Amino acid sequence: MTLVNSMSSGVGRGARIVVGLVMLGVGLALGGGWLALSIVGLVPLAAGAFGFCLIAPLILQPLRAAGSAGA
């Protein structure tokens, strides 16, 4: 199974959503310069929610795995 397929599975998508939410929460809780972490946390959150893998083009794979169900 390729990286893109595993990250597009339910577990991979859920993990990215959880990581994004944790980054948002920590950034908002700590405030100040940590707010940048909240902004960066939007990336894995959106990637998990919409089912795409941003590193896939770097390994010559499609942005979205074939057969993955989009949001």
- Output the pTM of the full model: 0.78
Burial class, 15, CB count within 10 angstroms (exposed 0-12 / middle 13-18 / buried 19+)? middle
Instruction: Give the separation between CA 29 and CA 12, rounded to whole angstroms.
Output: 26
**How do residues 7-66 score in pLDDT, each as one tens digit?**
778 888 899 999 999 999 999 999 999 999 999 999 999 998 888 888 888 888 777 766
Helices 10-30/35-50 angle, 10° precision: 160
